Amino acid sequence: MLKGVDLVVCSGGTILREAAYLGIPAYSILQSRIGGADRHLERIGPVKLLADASQLGRIRLRKRGPLVRLDSNPALLDEIVEFVESRVAVPA
């Protein structure tokens, strides 16, 4: 499905993260608690979190080229795993 879109606007979740990984501009309009993975993707760039309707103007509509994975950060998988592990309590 994502092969045919120029950008994604959704309420967070899997589609937001998949789009970001594929290099598709991804905007979240989630009005609830934002998860750590989505905040991390916003910090490194492929995700934009929109807090309210006044920020809809931040959405940039432009034709995108072919899909390119998020190779600008080859350590992304390791970073996400470390991030998740740092927040998971491991029973002693």
The domain ranges of the chain are: 2-87
Read off the pTM.
Answer: 0.67
Q: What is the pLDDT of residue 49?
A: 93
CA nearest 46: which of 29, 65, 74, 27? 27
Distance of alpha carbon 85 from its chain centroid, rounded?
Answer: 19
Tokens read off for 32: 């609830």
Helix axis angle for 14-22 and 36-44, nearest 10°, is: 20
What gap in Å lies between CA 27 and CA 56, rounded to an integer? 9
- Taking only the tens place, the pLDDT of each residue in 28-85 is 998 888 888 888 889 888 899 998 889 989 898 888 777 666 566 677 778 878 878 8
Q: What is the pLDDT of residue 86?
A: 82
CA nearest 24: which of 51, 3, 44? 3
